[in-house]
Amino acid sequence: MTDEQIMQLVKDGNLSKAAVLFTRYNKKLYNFFLRQTYDQGLSEDLTQNVFERMIRYRTSYNIEHSFKSWIYQIARNVKFDTYKKKKLPIQDDVDFQRIDVGQEMTTSSLEKKETLKNLEQAISKLNPEQRELIHLTKIQKMKYSEVASLLETTEGAVKVKVYRAVKELRKIFLKIDVQ
């Protein structure tokens, strides 16, 4: 079954089907938050809040739209609401040395690990909007049209922003890789 079909069942009152969506999206959302906040505990809390809201607002889901876009819109709202409510600063500049990226990497190649570490460091130096765009389009592999719907903008605007983010990422990465 597709995510949209499962969410329709949840919307219709079959709440046990929400577990399937939780299994499919739990790690993805956690990683989305982790790459935005660089805080494991906060990322776990935010992920939990997304699924609570998914259940609470299930009747607002429209099967004609992508479930992925809908759940990520909830995720963005949860993040912004949490930051606003707790008056947390949105991280623009992250101290990469404190971040343990080794847990997510399973490759045995030291060279690949170093490249991934440098890439994570470069991503952390992007502004929050660019980090989010890179995560959604390149890591979560969302279509530009889905991201446009999520950000309430045009597909063309998303393409331009992603292009600029990738260009900036490349520039930062090359500086790190040379060091």
Residue 135 lies in a domain: yes
Q: Looking at residue 59, what is its pLDDT?
A: 93
Is residue 98 predicted with pLDDT exceeding 70? no
Domain count of the fold of the chain: 2
CA distance 95 to 11: 41
Boundary residue ending a domain (25, 59, 86): 86
Indicate whether 60 and 106 sit together in one domain.
no
Indicate whether 14 and 59 sit together in one domain.
yes
Give CA 41 to chain center in angstroms: 16
Indicate whether 53 and 111 sit together in one domain.
no
pLDDT digits (tens, 9 = 90+) for 33-69: 888 888 899 999 999 999 999 999 999 999 888 899 9
Q: In Å, what is the CA distance from 87 to each residue of 53, 130, 136, 140?
A: 21, 22, 25, 28
pLDDT band at residue 89 under the 50/70/90 scheme? low
Question: DSSP readout, 9-25?
Answer: HHHTT-GGGHHHHHHHH
Stretch among 18-22, 70-74, 112-116 having the lowest mean pLDDT: 112-116
Indicate whether 144 and 109 sit together in one domain.
yes
DSSP state for residue 49 in the 8-state scheme: H
CB-based contact 16:6 (threshold 8 Å): no
pLDDT mean across residues, the chain: 84
Residue 93 lies in a domain: no
Residue 36 lies in a domain: yes
Residue 92 lies in a domain: no
Q: Looking at residue 96, what is its pLDDT?
A: 40
CB-based contact 173:122 (threshold 8 Å): yes
Residue 51 domain boundaries: 3-86
pLDDT band at residue 82 under the 50/70/90 scheme? confident
